[in-house]
Structure 1
Amino acid sequence: MQIRHLPYADPGEPDVRSGPRFLLWLGRRQLGGQLASLCWGLVMNLGIVGLPVGVGIAVQAVVDGSGARLALGAGIVLLLGVAIAVGDMMLHRTAVTNWITAASRVQQLLARKAAELGAVLTRRVAAGEVVAVSTGDVEKIGWFVEALSRFAAAAATLVAVCVGLVVYQPALGVVVAIGVPVLAVAALPLLPRATRRADVQREKAGRATELASDTVAGLRVLRGIGGEDLFLSRYRAASQEVRRAAVHSARSWALIAAVQVVLPGLLLIGVVAYGAKLALDGRIAVGELVTVYGAVMLTQYPLRQFEEIAMAYSFSRPSAKRAARVLSLSRTAPVSGDVPEAAAGGDLYDPVTGVLAPAGLLTAVVCGDPDAAGRLADRLGGHAAGDAASEDAGGEGAGDAGEAGRQSAAGRGGSVLLGGVPLDELPLDAARAAVLVQDKDPVLLSGTLEELLDVPASGAVSTEDALTAAQCADVLDALAQASADGDGDPMRARITERGRSLSGGQRQRLALARSLVADPEVLVLDEPTSAVDSHTEARVAEGVRRLRDGRTTVVFSSSPLLLDRADRVVLVHEGLAVAVGSHRELLRKEPRYRAVVSRETETEAGAGAGDAPHSTATAETTELVDIEESA
């Protein structure tokens, strides 16, 4: 695999059972690159440790006064020098290629997983951890994959040196063959402590980064309450903890590096002393002593690869573990058998909660818990697998529907059904095309308004109609004033990252317009007007109803202005759909609904639960709806 061929057409299915298994899988996927790096590493390393052979021949030739052997020694040195230069260049090339391709593979896998999970990803894993995995952790994983082949080449070189010296000069070769393996594993007892300290440093650094991110995100609020100094002192304390942990970690790795220097030095001294004695006794020639000395001295370079692979594995193992944890997340439970096709125009039904959104109608869902509403919205979009074993399936207040829901939940494992087909069993592309979920905090990517609204769509809804329905006239006026080309065209005005230059209500309405342009078969909106004033909210509700006429729409809201324009309203209480009807019917008959929509206290709800359906709060809510209708 060459860098110019990136990205991969298919990065593959990773082994995410553990961090080491994930690293092993990466290595196997790049077997060709690893073998190429190994071969060039052998060329370079053997060239380096082979230099003493040519030097020894040349020294012995000078002692013996042989010009032919001197030329031979010089030729060997020259040949090995060329091999070292070419091997070093190609090793660097192949190793960097392995690093980049491994990092690219991991990033592609993470991007694919993010696209699969969507907004659910940051609900299961902290956003900061996702960023850390896709940046710093990817680099560490690539480092280990790149260092693995160089380590294998170094290990093979050391074996070749030991065997060669035993054959070349048995007396000194045996000493080297015993000493080199000891040097290679001498640092192993020190690795656990160094690894633990490195883990502590990473943990503290992550906490400090998270604290800094939270402080920056809430800087405006902190300034309002005068809390800058308090959070600054907290960050200063956290950064000092990171510094101390980094110093402790560096000490451990410095000790390992010292061992890798001191022990080879002691071996070298021992070889020289013993070799000098053998040379004085006439048992070996001077050239042979020089050859053995040079070979032992140059083994320090391959031995360094043992230290590097230990560090690379130590740092990449937790990184691979985090990457495997993110990649192991699944949109749905595993399914088997033939993949069904979505039934066009069918009802959307959740057997776990009993929520039913009939085809072609505007259904409003009221939940007392906003977090529960967000999770249910994700379920309806097929973004979160249900667990029927841990939740009770319910109905919509009707016995037949409830029993059907319970049976379906038991039989389908809690999967949301679209036209009777489980969304969890549909291919991801088909499920996303069928159901679109707009989160309560939608994200606007940077770019022009034209680029923002350029989304895959049915073509039935124009951009102008979507913007009109979402009541974006004031947003267009503001963008026209900020148009980059000065012609006043709001479609060419740039929107900053996450729409920070717009107000919360403007961001919500632009996101709503984007969803309306897409015109999916089923549109799920989670609190689409929570940051909009009541007059604009009423017009948005009417615009959505008009533009989505004949299409299935589900709106999660507790706003009377939206609820009164829905074809049907479903009340979800404690995870079950307990009542269905129009907004005004539920206000009169259902005290739990009235408590959520009218913001009644428990006492007020209890007082209005009997024969007093027209409580003060209810009357006020109905009056507000009537006023908005007349407006």
Structure 2
Amino acid sequence: MPPVPGREAGRSVPTFRTIWDIMQIRDLPYVDPGLPDVRSGPGFLLWLGRRQLRGQLRSLSWGMLHFVSVMALPYGVGRAVQAVVEKSGSSLAVAGALLAVSAVCIAVGDTMLHRTAVTNWITAAARVQQLLIRKTSELGSALTRRVAAGEVVAVSTGDVEKIGWFVEAVSRFLAAAFTVVLVCVGLLIYQPALGVLVAVGVPVLALGVLPLLPRATRLADVQREKAGRATELASDTVAGLRVLRGIGGEELFLKRYRHASQEVRTAAVRSARMWSAISAVQVLLPGLLLISVVWYGLGLVGEGRITVGELVTVYSAVMLLSYPLRHFEEIAMAYSFSRPSARRAARVLSLERSARQDSPTDDAREPAGDLYDPATGLLVPAGTLTAVVCGDPDAAGRLAERLGGHPAEPDGLPSVLLGGVALDDRPLEEARTAVLVQDKDPVLLSGTLTELLDVPASGAVTAERALTAAESGDVLDALAQASLDNDPMKAPITERGRSLSGGQRQRLALARSLVTDPEVLVLDEPTSAVDSHTEARIADGVRKLRAGRTTVLFTSSPLLLDRAERVVLVHEGEVVAVGAHRELLRTEPRYRAVVTRETESEQRLVAAPRGPVAARFTKAGTEDIEETA
């Protein structure tokens, strides 16, 4: 789909006057794309059609002008033939004028029909894209945990175009259907003897392919599903290509993709065969009707019941009926391909963050204060650096998402409270401003370092301070070498930061989070890809920079835990211990097992009763662990 000029930050983008301006697409994007019906794919398509009712009516009007003018040609040709037979100059002039008017109306109608139909296509696709962008913004990182990334890509690209195709084809189909009805009625009035044959034959032409459509639709659905799975597999493979090469799994995944690709090819061939059979039927049946009309019409001419001009008129009308009838096949194909696309789009758009109120509540308190999760009992006092230890990394990720107010799954658990106010009772924008969650695998978009750090922020933390706290000095040196003017802030960063190492990406993402300076910052394993010396300096830098601000660290690193003001152990979904790092090492075996990677046999050895010598040995071992930490 060609790019469409829109608005950014509430102001029009200055562009030269293009055809899109003439087509009244200059108002995109919509101020409000609306609240879609996501109960089913057909329901979503119907909702789109209702939202564009005015555009559909305009397209229908121009389509009627175009098709009716096309079908008026046989009448003019028939009159011209009859005028030649009768050697009537006046009748020939009238027929010529009628053909000229029809030609002008055909040109105008076709131009405007194409214009309005393409407008319907682009605006429908733009509406769906806006809805997807809004849903992505609402769900955040939880989206790809609930829907495969490849499916999101498929919906926002190919599926959007197919949905727009169906919305575009509806008005053309309705115009063609009304024209076919008018032609049949007109032939019954103009020449009843042949009109009856045409009126009986045309419904057979229009409905003759119906028995083939269910199977064609099923095959199209299978093709789309297999193509969607192949897209998901390709997306996941590309995203993890570096890891796959590292473990030698590249060829394995390539084989899997080849197999998926061949399945798509086979499904596409089967679907194409069925649609070719439908096309063949739509060629065969009109041909049979034409033969019948000519054979029967010649008999009527021989009997003197109709003139040669009338036979030419009916014959030409039946021959040209194949033009509007082709739109019956198009609407069937458009619906078959758009229905699974609409179903996928509706499934993505039906995802909900939580039952929240998007308007200010009666409680006017600002979202500040202690952070508390009723589900686990986790309490993070305001203004402290609190570390959270979970034995299960996946459970830690889910808890981090909950603290941000957007869990990966709607689990029905009570909302997290910030300052005594439920985050779910706050407008989404306010909740996002108050709490920022950086997950295990933050994404770096392409651009310069300046653009990367140009994020909504309080302004209290500069980019230089954030980069220093995140120990990004070597990253800046590397970027300076890649920059033409030796300025690291202007150095290009490739998509997802693939030109950087894992530790460098992690530190730049941490700096971006620190620049934002939210009231509550939740960091999930922010130093898992850096060495211990760098990790220790990052811990000191974050603690100093975030002094007086609420910070939550999900980690099992002794270096980070030792610098936290408060450490909380979450075991099997609930808080079981709270204290300082060294204290928990001595008193809590479960904590010690997670932090020191202690095995069960080693735990039993430490916990077993010992004599004086063994007791002194055990105590010394514990002190060694603390010193190492």
Candidates 221, 238, 244, aligned match of 1:199: 221
2:372 corresponding residue in structure 1: 349
**1:330-349 correspondence runs (5 A):** 330-333=352-355, 339=361, 340-341=363-364, 343-349=366-372
For the 8 Å contact 1:133–1:319, the answer to whether it is kept is yes
Q: In the alignment, what sits opposite 2:318?
A: 296
1:582 to 580, 583, 594: 580
Choose 226-235 or 343-352, whichever is displaced more: 226-235
Structure 2 letter corresponding to 1:557: T
Q: Residues 505 and 324 from structure 1, CA distance in 2 versus in 1: closer, same or farther, beyond 3 angstroms? A: same
Match of 1:365 in 2: 388
CA 1:568–1:208: 2 relative to 1, 3 Å: same
Aligned to 2:551: 553
Q: Are 2:135 and 1:113 equivalent residues in the alignment?
A: yes
Q: Is the 8 A contact 1:476 1:490 kept in 2?
A: yes
Instruction: Tell me if 1:284 matches 2:288.
Output: no
Check conservation: 2:359, 2:427, Cα contact below 8 A.
no
| 5+ residue gaps, structure 1 | 390-412, 626-631
Superposition deviation, residue 32 in structure 1: 1.0
Distance 1:220 1:124, change over 3 A: closer
Evaluate the alpha carbon distance shift between residue 151 and residue 105 of structure 1 in structure 2; reply closer, same or farther with a 3 A threshold: same
Is contact 2:145–2:408 with CA below 8 Å preserved after alignment?
no
CA gap of 1:452–1:336, structure 2 versus 1, over 3 A, is closer
Residue 238 of structure 1: CA displacement?
Answer: 3.2
- Output aligned runs, 1:7-18, within 5 Å: 7-18=29-40
2:607 counterpart of 1:622: no
Q: How does 1:128-527 map to 2 (within 5 A)?
A: 128-220=150-242, 222-223=244-245, 229-333=251-355, 339=361, 340-341=363-364, 343-384=366-407, 414-484=414-484, 486=485, 488-527=486-525
**1:539 alignment counterpart:** 537
Q: Which residue of 1 aligns with 2:3?
A: none
Deviation string, structure 1 residues 188-228 (Cα, Å, up to 9, x no partner): 11111112212222233333344444444454555556555
3-state SS in 2 of match to 1:299: helix
**AA aligned opposite 2:261:** S
Contact 2:132 2:349 in 1 (8 A): yes
SS in 1 for 2:563: coil
Contact 1:20–1:320 (CA under 8 A) maintained in structure 2:
yes
Q: Aligned partner of 1:532: which letter?
A: V
Question: How far is the alpha carbon of 1:510 from its aligned partner?
Answer: 0.8
What displacement does 1:4 show? 1.5
Report the CA distance between 1:233 and its aligned residue.
4.1
State the alpha-carbon separation in 2 of the partners of residues 465 and 187 from structure 1.
70
SS in structure 1 at match of 2:379: strand
Could you say if the C-alpha distance between residues 591 and 230 of structure 1 is closer, same or farther in structure 2, counting changes exceeding 3 Å?
closer
SS at match of 2:598: coil
**Which residue, out of 593, 596, 604, partners 1:595?**
593
Aligned to 1:33: 55
Alpha-carbon distance, 1:617 to partner: 6.9
**Partner Cα distance (2:405, 2:118) in 1:** 40
1:329–1:216 Cα change, 3 Å: closer
Question: Cα distance 1:621–1:35, how it changes in 2: closer, same or farther (>3 A)?
Answer: farther
Any conservation in 1 of the 2:506–2:529 contact (CA below 8 Å)? Answer: yes
Q: Greater shift after overlay, 220-229 or 439-448?
A: 220-229
What do residues 353-403 of structure 1 show as CA deviations (whole Å, max 9, x unaligned)?
A: 1111111111111111111111111110011277676xxxxxxxxxxxxxx
2:305 and 2:597 map into 1 onto residues whose CA distance is: 101
User: Residue 26 of structure 2 aligns to a residue in which SS?
Assistant: helix
CA deviation map 1:511-551 (0-9, x unaligned):
11111111001101010000011111111111111111111
**Distance in 2 between residues matched to 1:193 and 1:63, nearest whole Å:** 51
TM-superposed CA distance for 1:618, in Å, is 4.3
Q: Which moved more, 1:331-340 or 1:569-578?
A: 331-340
Query: For residues 596-619 of structure 1, what are the alpha-carbon distances to aligned partners after superposition, in whole Å with 9 as ceiling and x for unaligned?
Result: 111111222344346779567744
1:90 Cα deviation from its structure 2 partner: 0.7
Identity %: 75
Q: Structure 2: which amino acid aligns with 1:30?
A: Q
AA partner of residue 422 (structure 2): P
Structure 1 residues 294 and 138, CA gap change in structure 2 (3 angstroms): same
Q: Which residue of 1 aligns with 2:9?
A: none
My pick for the range that moved more, 314-323 or 57-66, is 57-66
Quick one: structure 1 residues 621 and 45, their matched pair in 2 at CA, closer, same or farther if it must change by over 3 Å? farther
CA distance in 1, matches of 2:147, 2:250: 28
Q: Find the aligned partners of 1:615 and 1:90 in 2 and give their Cα distance.
A: 88
Distance in 1 (alpha carbons) for counterparts of 2:155 and 2:589 = 48
How far residue 566 of structure 1 moved from its aligned partner, in angstroms, is 1.1
Task: Provide the rounded CA distance (Å) in 1 between the counterparts of 2:139 and 2:380.
Answer: 23
Contact 2:387 2:561 in 1 (8 A): yes
Displacement after TM superposition at 1:298 (Å): 0.7
CA drift of 1:433 comes to: 0.5
For 1:224 and 1:11, locate their aligned partners in 2 and report how far apart those are by CA, in whole Å: 45
Per the alignment, residue 5 of structure 2 pairs with: none
Corresponding residue of 1:399: none
Name 1:49's counterpart in structure 2.
71
The answer on 1:83 being equivalent to 2:105 is: yes
TM-score normalised by L of structure 2? 0.92
The alpha carbon displacement at 1:2 in A equals 2.0
Tell me the distance in 1 between the aligned counterparts of 2:459 and 2:569: 34
**Distance verdict in 2 for CA 1:489–1:220, change over 3 Å:** closer
State the 1:338 CA deviation: 6.2
More divergent stretch after superposition (562-571 vs 122-131): 562-571
Note the aligned Cα RMSD (angstroms).
2.0
Aligned-partner Cα distance in 1 for 2:164–2:323: 22
C-alpha spacing 1:123/1:620, structure 2 compared with 1 (3 Å): farther
Cα distance in 1 between the residues matched to 2:101 and 2:496: 60
**Change in 2 beyond 3 A, CA 1:298/1:617:** farther
In the alignment, is the contact (CA less than 8 A) between 2:60 and 2:174 conserved in 1?
yes
Q: 1:620 to 1:293 in 2, by over 3 A?
A: farther
Q: What residue is the counterpart of 1:401 in the other structure?
A: none
Tell me, in whole angstroms, the C-alpha distance in 2 between the residues paired with 1:353 and 1:388. Answer: 13
Secondary structure, counterpart of 1:282 in structure 2? coil
In structure 1, the residue corresponding to 2:200 is in which secondary structure? helix
Shift in Å at residue 439 of structure 1?
A: 1.1
1:554 counterpart letter in structure 2: V
**Distance change (3 Å), C-alpha of 1:594 and 1:57:** same
Cα separation, partners in 2 of 1:133 and 1:88, compared to 1, 3 Å: same
Number of matched residues?
Answer: 600
Q: Secondary structure at the match of 1:349?
A: strand
Q: Deviations over 1:260-309 (max 9, x none)?
A: 11111111111121111111111112211111111111110111001000
> CA contact under 8 A between 2:472 and 2:504: conserved in structure 1?
yes
Query: Corresponding residue for 1:629?
Result: none
